[in-house]
Structure 1
C-alpha cells in the first residue's frame, strides 16, 4: 500500500445550486438546491486517495466547535489518519454558489488562520516516511515546503484557479516538482506550463472543466484528454481534487502520463456524478472496471 502525506484545507461548506448565477441586482430568489457538507481541497484529496487505496495521513486546522466535530466525523476511513491542530478562528466555512455548468463562486465566510501556532518539527518523520508529499496551498502549508526539500521529497501541489503573477502562490510554484492547476483564470496556460518545465518541473497538468485536460512532461511533450460524456454532472465540487487523486493513483502504478490522465478523468467523472466532494464508489476495482469500459479500445 503506497503512502501519502497531505495537508491543508478542511471546511464545512454551505452549497447553493442555481440554474444560473444571479444578476448583480437586488432581487429575491425563491427556490434553490441547498446542502451543508464537508468541503475544501485537502479533505477532498484525503478522502479520494484513501478510497483509492493509499494509506493517507492528512493534517488540517479545525476549530474546537460543533462544525469541527462534523468535519472530523466526515473524515473517517480505515486508510485515513487525520491529524489536527486547533484553529483559534474556528472551523473554516465557505459558501459555494454553483450553477448548472459546474461553475462556482466561493465565498470564505470564515477562513482558516494564516499563521497558526504549530510545531512544524512533528511533520518531519511523517514526510520522511511517505511515498508522496502533497502540499496544498493553505497559507500555513508553505512552512512544510522547506521540510520536504531538506528530506529530498518530491512535492506535488495544486494551484487551483491560479491567476498569473499572484504572489501568494509563488512559494508553492518554486518548490513544487509536480504542478496541477486549472485554466479558469489563466488564458495563456500553455506558456505558463512550458515555462515551468523550463524551470525544472517534472510535470505540469492543467484542467479545463468540460474541455478536458492537458499535460506537459519534462521532455516538453504535450498530451491532451477529453472528458467522458457518460458521467452526468450532479455536483462539480471536488472534481479537481478527484482528478488529482486519480492521476496520482495511476502514477503510483507506474503508468505513463496519458494513462494517468485517463484515470484522472474517470475519478473526476465519478466525482461530479456524486453529491459529495468525492465519490465513495471510486475504489480501485471500480476505477479499473471504468478504465476498461472507456479506454480499452483506444
Structure 2
C-alpha cells in the first residue's frame, strides 16, 4: 500500500493568547502594564508538532476538531500558509484556546479553556481509518476525543506515539494514551521518580521506547529496558520561551525514528530541536529545519566524542 503521509497528527489544534509577565508566579496586583504587549496566535501542541515535522521535511497531515469561529480561522490560516494539510472536523464547542503567561526566563503557565471540548465530541471513524491507511506513523495529542481514535489507528496498522506532557504518573485520563502507544513522550516536571514512571509505562503498555524530557537537565530514555540520559545542549541563541520545546523534541525524535536511527540518537535529535525552540519568541511559530538540525547534531556528537 502506498504511504502518502509520513506522520498523521491527531488533536492539539488551537490558539494561544500570549501574556508576558514580570515574574512567575505572578504576585497579586490590581493591574499590570504588559510589554511587549498581548498577542493571540494559532499554535498549540498538535500544531507545533505538525510545524516541526513539516520543517524537517516529513509529509505531515493534521486532523482535529476546529470551530467555526475566529480562533478556527487562525488555525486554518496557519496550516494553509505553511502548506500543511489539515482535516478540520466541526467542533460544536469551538476551537481550543488558552492563555499563556510567559516569564522573563522563558518559563510559562498555561490556562486552558476547558469549555471548548465536550464529552460527545467524536472524530469520523471512516475518516480516521482512511487517513491512517496512507500514513507511516500517527502522533496522538492527549486532547479530546483522540483517545477514542486509538483503536482505529491500531487496526490500521500504523505505529503510534503520544506526548503525556506533565503527567503525574497517576491521572487515569492519560493512561489510555500511555498504554496504547508504541513510543511515549512525557515531561519529568511533575514526576518524583522519572525512572519508575518510565518503567511502569513500558511494563504495562506497548511502548518499547519511553522518553522523559527534563528541560535544562536534558532527557531520559528507556529503550528495551535500558535507561540512558541525554545531557542538554546549549541553545543557539538566548532562551526566550519554553513553549513548544517538548513538541519540537517529539518532532525531531520522530524524524530519527522514521529514518531508522537508534533511539539514543533520536533523543539527541530531540534535544537539539527542543533547545532551538526555546529561542523562538512565544508570539512566533518557528521550527528548526532538517539541514540545521543535522548540522547541530553532528557538532554535538563531535564535541562529545572522547
The answer to whether TM tops 0.5 is yes
CA–CA separation in structure 2 for the residues paired with 1:166 and 1:218:
25
1:206-258 C-alpha deviation (Å, 9 max, x unpaired): 01112111111013242322232444212221111001001111222222122
What is the number of equivalent residue pairs in this alignment? 297
Corresponding residue for residue 215 of structure 2: 209
Aligned to 1:176: 181
Matched, 1:48 2:52: yes
How far the C-alpha of 1:158 sits from its partner, in A, is 0.3
For 1:266-285, what per-residue CA distance to the aligned partner results, in whole angstroms no more than 9, with x for missing partners? 111221111256424x2211
Query: 2:61: which partner in 1?
Result: 57
Partner of 1:254: 260
Write the mapping of 1:25-174 to structure 2, written as runs, cut at 5 A.
25-33=28-36, 34-76=38-80, 80-109=84-113, 111-114=115-118, 115-174=120-179
TM-score, scaled to structure 1:
0.92
Within the candidate set 265, 277, 287, 1:271 is matched to 277
| Stretch moving more, 99-108 or 139-148 | 99-108
Confirm or deny: 8 A CA contact 1:228 1:265 kept in the other structure.
no
* Equivalent residues of 1:51, 1:79 under 8 A apart: no
Q: Are the counterparts in 2 of residues 3 and 55 from structure 1 also a CA contact under 8 Å? A: yes
Structure 2 CA distance for partners of 1:110 and 1:103, relative to 1, 3 Å: same
C-alpha separation in 2, matches of 1:250 and 1:118? 29
Deviation at 1:27, TM superposition (A): 3.3
1:5 maps to 8
* 2:251 counterpart residue number: 245
Provide, for residues 84-117 of structure 1, a one-character-per-residue CA deviation record: whole Å limited to 9, x for no partner.
0111122222111111333221112364323325
Query: Aligned equivalents of 2:301 and 2:243: distance in 1?
Result: 25
